[in-house]
Structure 1
C-alpha cells in the first residue's frame, strides 16, 4: 500500500473543479443568509448567539476525538475570553484550552498562517497533558506514527504518517500553500475547494503528537473565514460528529491517492450541511426568544427549570420527547405535581402532548411562539 505522501507528485493534489462548480455559489448564498438573519438581532442577542455557536463547535470538535467536555464550563470560559464576564472557578484545562483556541480563531482568522499560530493552538489544547513529549511544537519522536482505531490486540491502521524528520519541511510547504491560496494570494482558490484541500493536506501530514484533528478542523474554518472576510461560525464539527464514521471513511479513502475529487465533494457538501445547521440554530435561537416573550411570567420555578433544560438540548431536542419521569428528575418534584405542571404547560400552549399513559411525551410548541 502506498500512502499519498510517498508518491512522486506529493503534495500536488489533482481534482475535477467542475464537480464543485454548483457547490461554491451555494456556500456564498448561505453565508449571506446567515449574516442577514443575524443583522435583525440586537447586540446582546448576537453576543449570546455567538457564545452558543462557538461553544457547540468547541464541545463537538473535542467529542469527535473522544473527549467529553462540560458545555457550561466551556461557555463560561468563552465569555471570559471574550471579555463578557469572569470565568467560573475549577474549569478543566481542556475546557479552557479549547475555548482559548476557538476565540483566537474567531478573532484572528485574517493573518497569514505560520508555525507560531499552530504552536499556540497546540499549547492551548494540550496544556497540562503529561503524555505528550512535545507541546507547542511539531513531533520529533523517531518511532513511526500510525493513525488507527480499535484495541491494541486488534488495531486497524488507517494511515501511516510521514516521519517526524520531515515535519519542518512539510509544514513550511503547507503554510506557504495555505497563504498562497488565500484571497489576495498568488494562487487564490474558491472557498470550499481551499478548505477541503487544507483539511486533508494537514491531516495527512499529521504534524503533532496529538490534536491534529481539532487543529485541522480549525484550519478549515480559518480558510472559510478568510474567503468570507469574517468568521463563518458554521457548525462544522457538530455536522461531522453526527456522521463521524462517514468522516473517517472519507479521510481513509483519500489518503492513498493524489486525485481527491471525491474528498472535495464530500467535504464541500459537509460544509454546506454545516451552514444549514447553523442557520437552523439561528432560527431556533430567534424562536426561543419569541417563546420566552410570549410566556413571560407564566411559568412557576419548576416549569421554568424544565423548559430551560428542554431548550438546552438545542435543535435536536430530547430524543423521543420529554417524559413525566424526565420532568420529575429535572424539577425534583412529586409525580402528582409533575402531572399538574405538565397539564398546565399544555393548556397554556407551551408544550404539545403525544401518546398515552407511559408512552406520553411532551414537546416544545414553537410554532405559535414563532408566529406560524
Structure 2
C-alpha cells in the first residue's frame, strides 16, 4: 500500500474570515472571526504508488468484470430497442446518487417532471439536473480534464446561483459542525487556492493504467471528494466522474451501471471509507465500490428482467398494424412511463389523431393506465397516461437499493 505518510492528508492553520461580514451584535459568530482552523492539504497522487491489499485488488477486478458482463448482456437483451433501457439505468443512477445527498423522489414524480409537471425547485427538478449532468459526462470522450469537471457541475447546478455553477469555489466550505464557521466541522476541505492544482493532479492520476480499473475510479472519487472543489454538488459530480472513468477504461460501452444504488444501501460505510482514505488507507473505499458494483449489477439485472417481461407482454397483446405509431411508442414507455398526447406528437413526429390512437391501442394492450388529469377536471391540456407497471418496477428497484445487506 502507499505509505500512510504519503497518502495521509496534511493540514494547515488558517485564520477564519467569513465571506459575509459579521454584525458585532452577533456575539457567537463574531467570537470566531480571526480564530485559526485546520484545512486539509491533499497530497498529490498522480505518481503515487498504490499497492492495494491483494484480496481487495482481486475483488475490484471481479467487480469490474461483472460490470463489463452486465454492459454486454444488456446490450444484447433488447437488440435494437436497447436505447430505452440504457436511459432507464442512467436515470436510476442519477436518482440514487441524488438520494445519497438526501434528495429523494419517487419514480412517478420524476416521470411527471419529464413531461413538464414539476414545481420549480422540487426534488424531481434536482434529479432531472443530475440526469443532465450524467449525460454530459458520458457524452464526453477523451481524458478527464478540469473543463469536463466544470461542465458536469454546470449541468448539475445550472439554475442554482448559490452553487456558482461551472466554477470552482472561491470560499471555504466544510462538512458537519455549525453553519457559521468550520471550527467544529467533521472535515474541512482545502482552501480554494489549492483547488486548481489538486484537480490537475487528479486528472493526471486518472490517465494511469497501473491500477485495476474500478480501484482506480474509487481512489479518484475519494480524492475528488477530499478536494471538494465546489460550493455544492461535489458528491454527485464525483460519482459521475466514476462513470467517465469506467467508460474510458472500457468497462462500459452503452449502459450505465447504477453504482450509486449500491452505495446507497450502506451510506455509513461509504462515508467511513472516505474518512479512511483521508487517513491514508485506500482499501476501504475500493472495497465499498466493489461491493456497490456487485449490488448494482444484481439490482440492475432484476430491473432489466422486469422491464423486458413487461415489454414482451405488451408486444404480444398489442393489436396494431406493423407500421402503427404504437409500436414505436411501446419501447419508449420504458424510459418515459408518463406521457401526454402532445409529448408523443413531438417525440414521434406524428399528428394528434395518430398519437391519440397509439395511446388508446397501448391502453388496450395493458401498457397504459386510464388517463388522468393531473390538474383536475377541465384542464385537458395536462391529461397524462401512465405505464404504472413500469413505475412499480422502478420503485421496487429503489426499495432494493435502500436495503442494507449487512443488516438483513
TM-score higher than 0.5: yes
The offset of 1:60, in angstroms, is: 1.9
Q: Match for 1:5 among 9, 16, 24? A: 9
Match of 1:51 among 87, 92, 99: 87
Q: Report the Cα distance in structure 1 between the residues aligned to 2:78 and 2:367, rounded to whole angstroms.
A: 28
Q: How far does residue 291 in structure 1 lie from its aligned partner after superposition? A: 3.6
| C-alpha contact 1:311 1:317 (8 A) present in aligned 2 | no
TM-superposed deviation, 1:272: 2.3
Contact 2:269 2:288 in 1 (8 A): no
Matched, 1:138 2:142: no
- Given the alignment of the two structures, is residue 227 of structure 1 paired with residue 242 of structure 2, yes or no? no
CA contact (8 A) 2:60 2:286 kept: no
Q: 1:316 to 1:24 in 2, by over 3 A?
A: same
Q: Is the 8 A contact 1:206 1:212 kept in 2?
A: yes
Structure 2 residue aligned with 1:317: 396
Separation (CA, whole Å) in 1 of partners of 2:294 and 2:84: 24
Aligned to 2:144: 113
Which structure 1 residue ranges, 5 or more long, are not aligned? 79-86, 182-186, 321-372
Q: Which position in structure 2 is the counterpart of 1:126? A: 157
Please give the per-residue CA displacement for 1:219-247, whole angstroms capped at 9, x wherever unaligned.
Answer: 11111111126245101122222322332
**Counterpart-to-counterpart distance in 1, 2:205 and 2:43:** 13
1:101 matched to which residue of 2?
A: 133
Equivalent in the alignment of 1:353? none
Q: Contact conserved, 2:176 with 2:186, CA < 8 A, in 1?
A: yes
2-structure distance, mates of 1:27, 1:300: 35
Q: Matched residues in 2 for 1:136 and 1:190: separation?
A: 30
User: What is the CA-CA distance between 1:6 and the residue it aligns to?
Assistant: 0.6
CA distance in 1, matches of 2:106, 2:394: 19
CA distance in 2, matches of 1:291, 1:242: 31
Shift of 1:152: 8.2
Task: Name the CA distance, whole Å, in 1 between partners of 2:158 and 2:64.
Answer: 35
CA drift at 1:137: 1.4
Tell whether the 8 Å contact from 2:261 to 2:292 is kept in structure 1 after alignment. no
| Native 8 Å contact 1:14 1:261 kept in 2 | no
For residues 301 and 268 of structure 1, do their structure 2 counterparts lie closer, same or farther at Cα, with a shift above 3 Å needed?
closer
Distance apart, 1:15 and its partner CA: 4.2
What residue in structure 1 maps to residue 288 of structure 2? Answer: 266
Q: Distance in 2 between matches of 1:220 and 1:318?
A: 21
- Residue 195 of structure 1 contacts residue 223 of structure 1 at CA under 8 Å; is this kept in 2? yes
Give the C-alpha shift of residue 158 in structure 1.
Answer: 3.0
Is 2:28 the partner of 1:28? no
Q: SS in structure 2 opposite 1:158?
A: coil
Match of 2:272 among 229, 244, 249: 249
1:164 to 176, 192, 210: 192
Matched residue pairs, number? 298
Cα shift readout 1:13-71 (whole Å, capped 9, x = no counterpart): 7442412224403422452244134314142x312212211111222212221224575
1:204 deviation in Å? 0.7
Distance of 1:188 and 1:91 partners within structure 2: 47
**Whole-angstrom CA distance in 2 between matches of 1:301 and 1:53:** 21
Structure-2 change in CA distance of 1:238 and 1:318 (3 Å)? closer
**Which moves more between the two structures, 164-173 or 306-315?**
306-315
The alpha carbon displacement at 1:77 in A equals 8.3
SS of the residue 2:187 aligns to: strand
Which deviations, in whole Å up to 9, do the C-alpha atoms of 1:72-110 show, x marking residues without a partner?
6766888xxxxxxxx6476856355323212122322x3
Aligned equivalents of 1:37, 1:300: Cα separation in 2:
22
Secondary structure at the aligned position of 2:175 is classed as: strand
Contact 1:239-1:273 within 8 A present in 2 as well: yes
Report the secondary structure of 1:159's partner residue: coil
Matching of residues 168-317 of structure 1 within 5 Å = 168-179=196-207, 181=208, 187-228=209-250, 230-255=253-278, 257-293=279-315, 297=364, 308-314=387-393, 317=396
